[in-house]
Structure 1
Amino acid sequence: MNGYENNKADLRKRLNRVEGQVRGIARMVDDDKCCIDILTQVSAATKALETVALSLLGDHLSHCVAQASTEGGEVAAEKVREANEAIARLVRS
């Protein structure tokens, strides 16, 4: 079972909203809307995706990493490494 299993409906709802935002941004470009208005919507979609990412990261830490830490050893070390790499990717983006 994935760590986000209990949060799946909320994640899906958020992702559907982001998908709609991105389609709206594409329409704004097609309709030659003001750059600043488009950038505002891009920022909103980016923040929405960041919220999804942080939720998934929290689920990963509280489920996958916590479970692996009870096993200890290489399994735990691998999950911590994965989490560190994911955090690094989020911070860089």
Structure 2
Amino acid sequence: MPEPQPHPTHPDIVKRLKRADGHLRHVIDMIESGKPCADIATQLQAVERAVAAAKRVLIHDHIDHCLGHGSETDLAEMRAMARLL
């Protein structure tokens, strides 16, 4: 199996996910300290959006840089990746 190659967007994706991780830890603290559920839900929505945005960038980058040779394998992988969006 070939060695995975990092993409130019990977450092940005890592930064986004680390921010989301910190945000999620804050949400856990909110739950443990008894903050109002509406506030917790709002913060959870922000975490979900941050992770979804990171996933979207990763998938688009993968499609742009790893696929597109026109093979049946590429098309099948592109279909599989598109379902994740």
TM-score, length-normalised on structure 1?
Answer: 0.78
Q: Is the 8 A contact 2:63 2:78 kept in 1?
A: yes
The one of 19, 31, 43 equivalent to 1:17 is 19
Q: Unpaired runs of 5+ in structure 1? A: none
Q: Across the two proteins, how many residue pairs are aligned to each other? A: 82
Question: Which runs of 5 or more structure 2 residues have no equivalent in the other structure?
Answer: none
| Structure 2 counterpart of 1:86 | 81
RMSD: 1.5
- CA deviations on 1:9-49 (whole Å, 9 max, x unpaired) are 11111011010011011000001111111110111000001
- How many Å apart are 1:87 and its aligned residue? 2.1
Structure (1/2) with the larger helix percentage: 1
Q: Give how far 1:89 is off.
A: 3.1
How do residues 31-42 of structure 1 correspond to structure 2 at under 5 angstroms?
31-42=33-44
The SS at the match of 1:41 is helix
Secondary structure of the corresponding residue to residue 5 of structure 1: coil
Identity among equivalent positions (%) equals 29
Alignment of 1:44-83 (within 5 A): 44-66=46-68, 69=69, 72=70, 76-83=71-78
Aligned mates of 1:36, 1:19 — CA distance in 2: 20
